[in-house]
Every structure is written in C-alpha cells, then in structure tokens.
Amino acid sequence: MKKTKENIQAEKDFYRRQCDDMGQQILRLQQELTQVHNDAKRSHTTTALILKTYELINHDVSIEDIGKRFLQVILSTLWADRAMVLRYDKEAGVFTSQCSLGLQHNSSPVPGFNDTSPEFLFVNSNTEATPVTDSFCSAIESKYILWCFNRYEGVALLIGNDMEDRKFRLPFMEKDRDIVESSLNVFIDIVRRKEAEIALLNSERRYRNLVQSSPESIIVCCDSRIAFVNNAGFKLLGVENPEEIVGRSSMTFIHPEDREKIGTMVREILENRHETSLMEVRFQRIDGTTVDTEVVAIPFVFQNRSAVQIVAIDVSERKKMEKELIKAQKIESLGILAGGIAHDFNNILMGILGNIELAIAYSNPETEEYDFLENAHNASIRAKELTQKLLTFSKGGVPLTKSTRLAEIITDSVNFVLSGSSIMCDYSLPADLWPVDIDVVQFRQVIENLTINANQAMPNGGIFSIKAENIHGETMKSLSLCKKKYVKLTIKDQGVGISEKDLQNIFDPYFTTKDGGSGLGLATTYSIVKKHNGLITVESEIGEGSTFSIYIPASDKEPPTGNETEEEPETGQGKILVMDDDEAVRMVTVQMLARLGFSTVTACNGNETIKLYKAAMESGDPFDGVIIDLTIRGGMGGKETVNRLLKIDPDIKALVSSGYSNNPVMADFQDYGFRGIIKKPFNIRELSESMLNLVSN
C-alpha cells in the first residue's frame, strides 16, 4: 500500500515523539545518576572530614578549633558559606555563640524560643520564617538557613547561603536534614570526648600539683620498683634527681629489718586490693642513714599498670621527742624514789658527818683514833656525793644558779679528771662566750662525767676536745630550743664509740656497758642539763668516737668580776632557834653551833617553833636567828612556819635548811621570806659561813 504524505508525516511525528520521550528518560536518568553520584560524593566527603575531625581529639587543640574544623566539614558538604554553633542557656533563655565561620556577628546572646518550637527548622525561599528563625536570620545575615537543635545537649547549628549569589549555591533541600542532624550528633560526641579528655588532663594536672606540693612523701611502686616519687619523697630518701631513684628496687630504700614486713604488705595490697592501716616503717636514705616514718599504702594504677602508692610521714623528730619524754619519765620515776629517801638519808648523814667532824675537832691529830675518824669522814663525804647524784634525778633537785662563765669551770674539771692521763686536751673557748646561769657544783659534775667517759673510752690515749660557741635558738628549730640565745658545748672523743642499739639507752639510770660501772654518770648529766632548761644530744659510731652536744641558755646578767676569796670559818655569838624533826640532826647542829659560839634552843615542828619565838620576843630576849627545816613529816614545814613568823616579826632572820625538797624554796628562798639557805648534810665551816652571814645582815 502506497503511503500517503499524511501517513509519512504521522510516522515521522510518532518517531519524533518516541525520541523525545527517550531523550527525556535519558536526561532524567542522567540527572538521577548525577544526583546519586553527588550524594555519594557528599556522603563520602562528610565521612572523611568527620573522621579527620575525630582525629583532633588526640591533638593539643581547643574545643573552639574542633568546632571550626567541624563547620568546615558542614560548609564544604552542603556548599554553604556560613555557619555557627551555639549553646543554649536554659536559665537565661538565650543562645551564645561558641564558634562560627563566614559570619560577621557580635558576641551578644541570641534570644531563645518557647518550648513548642521544633528541634529542626528547614527554611528556604518558599518557607515562611518563624519568629525564632527571624532572630537567627538576623544574627547570620541570611534568610536561607538550616536550623538544627539538640535539646538534650543544648547545642544548636545554623547554616546559611547568600541569596544574592546563587550561581553555585542552591537552596537547602529536605534531604540535607539527615546530614545536618547526624553531623551535629557526631560533633556533640566529639566535643563530649574532648571535654572529657581536657577534664582528665586537668584532673591529672591538679593531682600532680597536689602530689608534688604535698608535705607528705608519696612513692609509687610498680613491679617492686620505684616508678614515681614526689618532691617530699626526694627529701625523705636523700636524693635530688629522679634518675637517682626511679627504676631502682623499692627494697633498696627500706631498712633491712623492715623489708619482710613491707614485702608482705605489698603482696596483700595487690592480692586483696585494699589499703593498709597506719604502720611504722624505717626508710634508708641513699647515704645509708635511717629515717623513722609512718606509712599507709593503697592499690593504685600507674600508666595502666597495677601499682602500690605509699604515703609516708617523717616522724623522726617526733620519735626523738618521744625518746626524750621516755627518758624524762624514767628520770622522774627515779626521782620519786630518790625524793622519798633523800630527806631521811641526808638526816642520817648529817648526824654521822657532823659528829665525826666534832670528834675530829676534839681529837689529837697525832693519835691513831684521829686517822680512823679521818677515814670515816672521807667515807661520809663519798656517801654525801652519792646522795647528791640521786637527788639530781628528783623533782626537788633544783639548781641553785648564778651567772657564771664556763671557761674556767671546764678547764678545771677536765684537768682534774685527766691528771696523769695520756689523753691530750684540745680547748676552743672563745673570750666572748656568753655567761650562763648554772649551779656550779652540778655543772662541774656534768663536765667531769663526760670527761670520765671519754677517758674510759680511750684506754690507749687520744685527743679529747671541748668547743664552746654562742648560738641563736632560732637557727636550731629542729632541736626545739625555746630560748633566743644559747651556749653550745661540743665534747668529742676518739674512743671506741657507742653502738646504735645502746645509743638510745645511754641516758637511762643504771644503764651501763662497762664492768663495774654504776650507770648513773650520763643519767645524772642528762638530768642536770634538763633542770638547767638545756638540751643534750649524742652522736656516735663504733670505732669513730662519740660527740656530745650540750645547749645551755645564755644569761642576761653579767657574772661577778674579780677573784672572790673565801673567808675563814669564824666564831660568833647569838641566840639561835633550831627547828628539825630529826633528833640526831638537832643534837649535832646544837653541838656545832655551840662550838661556833652560839647558844641554841630546839623545836621539832612549826607550831612549837612559833610558840618559842613568840615567847622569846615577849620576854625581851628574842632570837638572833632561826634555822628551819623545810620538810617536817606529819607537821608544819618550813615554808608555812616562816610565813607565820613574818607576821609576828617582819625582820626575822631565818635560814632554810633541807637535804631535799619538791618546792622551789631552796632556789628562790628570798621570795619566801628567808635570808639564806644551808643544804644538808653540812659541815662546821659551811654552818659558820651561813650563820655569820645571817646574823650580820
């Protein structure tokens, strides 16, 4: 059939339509493939950039820098030109900008919104802006925005395009929502992790600063080795640099006798994961010296490893003070015993010594009996010296002090002890040495005791040195010196030395390492120094000799100048009242006074003394002086007696007598109304001097 012109045209139109439809389909397919490619590319780009943002967590960058990196990801993914991250302050009802890119904005808060506003607002040219978007559009100078808000985290994200430059920028599409929401959630996760990392770093920094500034020593041990030591720990162990100690075995710095105890403690901590109770441990410094500490240990994680953290407190000074207290308590215990027997013992000695002296005075020196009496007298003197040693420990052994210069006392005492010895003496006694308030008799005993010890410690000879110097108490705070000025004596020998075990006991009464030793020499020395408000310390090593250091408070008074000469015992006259509860003492005192030219009347207690004194005044024949015993068993003692006598006669001349007292009357007799003192047992010469001074005043 022959085709007509119309049929041919119709066929052409049909094929043309088919081609157009196919072209449209191909075009649509091409567009869809392009869109898929672009979406895949955007997704890939977004993923890659977000992963790079994640990497910033492990770098030393701020959260603001991470935010800007995140905004770069968003802008490059959505082909936008401006973006902002804000945080919502619920109490204030405003948003504040955290970081932004491509915006010219101020830091003023952006108004908030009501609770009914959606979490996600999508705005383009066909969407009417709401009040909330109006405020944000104004903030970022754009009406083409995406607004995404995570209510739970209080973080908002704004993204915008410039509507006047749309050649390469398209309005945001609904499909951008998923990218924006997921990206914001990823950013929040990144920021949360970074904030946690910063908080952890700050916490570690605060912890490290706290640990380093702690006055307590903190030591961390991993695998039985020291991994960390703070500044106080360096001082405790005697090191200056971490290299000297970190990495070394922890047992190196524990006293050998305490290592087993520490090893058990560490094992229990690692096995049971609980802290220990406070316990005493001796550390050993790098130079070998020992430090007493109290420690507590806890399980610890150090650089992802199981460890033990030890907190140690140096209690060396406290231990020294405790030892001093224990020594003082032992001395006090002996003092109670000494004080209990001193009065009776001295009364007995007074009767023995006084009668022997009277017998000697009436005996012919050419006779054999005289020699026997001299021997008895010398034995009594030794008994008196022993009593004085015992009294040194008692509460009543108060030093009768006066301002004195030490140089002559030191040289006389040392030369007397070392006379005929092969030991050489080395003195360092400066001329400007401060005077001190001391009981000369007691302090001679201190020097003699230490010299005797040195002599016994150097049987083959050697050098014995005594150095005196002025020091200020403020410079010796570690020794707890409370006064401002001290005279320090350093007494050193080259003897056999003292073991560490014995060193802590050498001041204990009756402790001795010598055959035939009494154990009272150093105990007496310690007590005398203590009663002078001083301090004595000792350092010694076997084979290296011993060094004693004595600190005595300096006096603010100048000692008497010139050479004082002793007056010869003289006789006198006058009527004396003698009060003592011991009949033997009364009898021998009366006889000694009679030999000195005095008449006497006796009383055995305070009431009788007051009665006799009052009667003598009323009769017109008063007493010229009174000798009053300080301690009367079961009756009125000397302190109360003289107080009552002063009311009867304010000008009474009273002499206090005692061999022991737990009152300060003997040291400060003037404050209690007495004119003088005399210590039992006394001899005729001492009684003569006291009586002549009494009646002449």
The DSSP string of 290-349 is: EEEEEEEEEEEEETTEEEEEEEEEE-HHHHHHHHHHHHHHHHHHHHHHHHHHHHHHHHHH
Q: Is the dihedral of CA 631, 633, 634, 635 positive or negative?
A: negative
Distances (CA, A) of 524 to 187, 290, 482, 521, 659: 82, 29, 23, 5, 17
d(CA 356, CA 588): 10
| Residues paired with residue 424 on neighbouring β-strands, in sequence order | 463
**Is the pLDDT reported for residue 641 higher than 90?**
yes
Q: Average pLDDT of 112-131?
A: 49
Report how far Cα 508 is from the mean position of its chain's Cα atoms: 27
Write out the two tokens for 376. Answer: 């008895």
Distances (CA, A) of 404 to 360, 472, 527: 35, 19, 20
**Are residues 78 and 179 in contact, defined by beta-carbon separation less than 8 angstroms?**
yes
507: which residues sit within 8 A by CB, 6+ positions away? Answer: 327, 522, 523, 525, 526, 536
Domains of the chain: 53-197 (3.30.450.40), 214-314 (3.30.450.20), 406-553 (3.30.565.10), 574-696 (3.40.50.2300)
- Give the model's confidence band at 652: pLDDT under 50 very low, under 70 low, under 90 confident, else very high: very high
What SS3 state is found at 441? Answer: helix
Total number of residues shown for the chain: 697
Per-residue model confidence as pLDDT tens digits over 668-696: 888 899 998 888 888 888 888 888 888 87
d(CA 627, CA 305): 83
**For all residues of the chain together, what is the average pLDDT?**
77
Q: Strand pairing of 402-404 and 436-438?
A: antiparallel
Q: How far apart, in Å, do the first and last CA atoms of the chain sit?
A: 178
d(CA 147, CA 85): 10
CB 673: neighbour CB atoms within 10 A? 17
pLDDT value of position 129: 42
**Are residues 393 and 509 in contact, defined by beta-carbon separation less than 8 angstroms?**
yes
What SS3 state is found at 418? Answer: coil
Per-residue model confidence as pLDDT tens digits over 368-420: 888 888 888 888 877 776 676 666 555 445 677 888 888 888 988 888 888 77
What SS3 state is found at 367? Answer: coil
- Cα angle 151-155-156, degrees, rounded to a multiple of 5: 95
Q: Which helix (H) or strand (E) holds 215?
A: none
Q: Which of 645, 599, 646, 641 is nearest to 621 (CA)?
A: 599
Place of tokens 């961390």: 220
d(CA 220, CA 230): 9
By percentage, how much of the chain surpasses pLDDT 70?
72
Helices (H), 362-401: 368-393
| Residues paired with residue 486 on neighbouring β-strands, in sequence order | 471, 553
Cis peptide bond upstream of 459, omega within 30: no
Place of tokens 């020699």: 371
d(CA 422, CA 436): 31
> Cα-flanking dihedrals φ and ψ of residue 305, to 5°?
-120, 145
Q: Which of 412, 337, 356, 349 is nearest to 383 (CA)?
A: 349
**Are residues 630 and 638 in contact, defined by beta-carbon separation less than 8 angstroms?**
yes
Per-residue model confidence as pLDDT tens digits over 176-188: 667 777 777 777 7
Write out the two tokens for 65. Answer: 């820098």
**Is the pLDDT reported for residue 309 higher than 70?**
yes
What SS3 state is found at 514? Answer: coil
Q: Which of 22-26, 159-163, 354-358, 589-593 has the highest mean pLDDT?
A: 589-593
Note the pTM of the prediction, 2 decimals: 0.44
**Is the pLDDT reported for residue 566 higher than 50?**
no
**Residue 267: is it exposed, middle or buried by C-beta count within 10 angstroms (0-12/13-18/19+)?**
exposed
What SS3 state is found at 459? Answer: coil
Q: What is the CA radius of gyration of the chain?
A: 50
Q: Which of 416, 542, 445, 427 is nearest to 491 (CA)?
A: 427
What are the counts of helices (DSSP H) followed by strands (DSSP E) for the chain? 16, 23
CB 320: neighbour CB atoms within 10 A? 15
Q: Average pLDDT of 510-529?
A: 70
Higher per-residue pLDDT: 172 or 469: 469
**Are residues 576 and 626 in contact, defined by beta-carbon separation less than 8 angstroms?**
yes
pLDDT value of position 644: 93
Per-residue model confidence as pLDDT tens digits over 122-161: 444 444 444 444 555 555 455 556 667 776 677 777 777 6
Higher per-residue pLDDT: 65 or 623: 623
Write out the two tokens for 283. Answer: 């550390």
**Are residues 298 and 314 in contact, defined by beta-carbon separation less than 8 angstroms?**
no
Distances (CA, A) of 420 to 455, 498, 545: 11, 25, 22
Per-residue model confidence as pLDDT tens digits over 225-251: 888 888 888 888 888 777 778 888 888
Q: Which helix (H) or strand (E) holds 465?
A: strand 463-472
Q: Average pLDDT of 206-221?
A: 81
Place of tokens 């050649």: 167
